[in-house]
Structure 1
């Protein structure tokens, strides 16, 4: 897993968050989204790469938009999902939560990085939504994604531990915290897809 701290925000660069076969659509969607960039926010805050079906894609850590219409007209289903995937990286937690609801049951492998990334964030309402809709995620696709991205999976686990420790430890016992429940689900999906990983120390359960 590789990260880039700051980079010029362009439609072509943002479109790299999606597989190559969707680039024409992705550039069109991302170009439309960039019209709503906040003044002075042409740089995004970080970008990371993950493997999706043996292809490297680059996902923005955070993007900044103003008055974004969440449903552009005249876009097809895949373009709508791309739009919502980008909005899961919005600086507003409310908009990230709303966008998550549109993609979590899409059954598309390329939406998984955006869903898993949200698990490693601190907004417990978003974690609650993910946990409530886990049945909408294809377990085999999830297991394959986690197996192909061990560093990203481990980083997500570490972030869940860290945010629980900082924000929720005093009020929510470890065994009741929704973030750990999601990680258990991830663990089961990973081992179901790749049983040999279940014996590795790094994947021991919490």
Structure 2
């Protein structure tokens, strides 16, 4: 079984290599109770604005995070830690670390942080979408919108997932999609427009 420390080296840009090593040494290697595999088989790949690719698991299942950081952790190291825990299986933990990330960067976000926030936006917990919209909508969001364009196929897939979860879980609470927080998040904060659908590539199986 791969431990979380063995896979995070591909989750962040190369210039953060030493910071990643520091954070990795702090992570739990103990699986949560009743869990046999620590890392999901599904991965998400994103291209950063300089062309470098990062790749991180859809979910991991290690024990809950530490309550406090070592005093010597830098801002980048704290944010690496927060990004990792946005992939945690516990939705409350994901939401907490999303909030922490956005508080660490009150203005423009680094592109590698944007990768994690975009990926999280296609998931099923409406409260996380609400928190993202609440904290991102007052900002310019130029980097996250550039990342949406850079990763247009992945972005459109994430957008589709958001709509599917609205239809499956939240249509009763919010019957009109135009009023759904996910739609607002993608359009106001991420720059989604119908014109982006023209960039979609359909793969036809032989």
TM-score by length of 1: 0.82
Contact 2:82-2:100 within 8 A present in 1 as well? yes
**Which residue of structure 2 lines up, in the alignment, with residue 183 of structure 1?**
186
Segments of structure 2 that go 5 or more residues without pairing to the other structure are 201-206
Counterpart CA distance in 1 for 2:119 and 2:145 is 15
Contact 2:31-2:63 within 8 A present in 1 as well? yes
Listed as ranges, the matches of 1:122-133 within 5 Å are 122-133=124-135
Counterpart CA distance in 2 for 1:180 and 1:77 is 31
Counterpart CA distance in 2 for 1:136 and 1:87 is 25
Tell me how many residue pairs correspond in the alignment: 191
The equivalent position to 2:23 in structure 1, one of 3, 22, 29, is 29
Q: 1:27-75 deviations in whole A, cap 9, x for unaligned?
A: 2212321434436434334212110121000122101121421432121
- 2:53 is the counterpart of 1:68: no
Listed as ranges, the matches of 1:90-129 within 5 Å are 90-105=88-103, 106=105, 107-129=109-131
Contact 1:127-1:179 within 8 A present in 2 as well? yes
TM-score by length of 2: 0.82
Higher helix share: 1
> What is the CA distance between 1:117 and its match in structure 2?
1.2
CA RMSD of aligned residues (A): 2.4
Higher strand share: 1
